[in-house]
Structure 1
Amino acid sequence: MPTAEESRILALACGAPVFHLLRTAYGIDGTLVEVCHTVMAADSFVLSYTLPASRTATR
């Protein structure tokens, strides 16, 4: 459930849930290159991801 600030910023109706999406991306050498934290209204989005297979597992 959202914090009071998230509800205010996103103009959510009382009791509306949110998604907290945390995505981390790594370079081919394993170096962290990006962190993205997104908060979105759960009733407004459908999340769908297609991730390419890696030839070499680094984690």
Structure 2
Amino acid sequence: MSVGLFITHPNLLTLFVTVFFTVSLHRLILQEEKHLESMFGEEYESYKKKVPRYLLIR
């Protein structure tokens, strides 16, 4: 969503919002992955090997 905002309204504010949102979301995902690893252990590790974190990016 923030990338689309930056594409339609390219300026320093939307660039800052896009970078801030992307970094914040990445940090949240890393925390969530740690939680899932503690809950599901090896089963989650196996899942992570099969499924990319971000769409098609491993």
Structure in which a larger fraction of residues adopt strand: 1
TM beyond 0.5: no
**Greater helix percent: which structure?**
2
The normalised TM-score by structure 1 is 0.22
Q: TM-score, with normalisation over the residues of structure 2?
A: 0.22
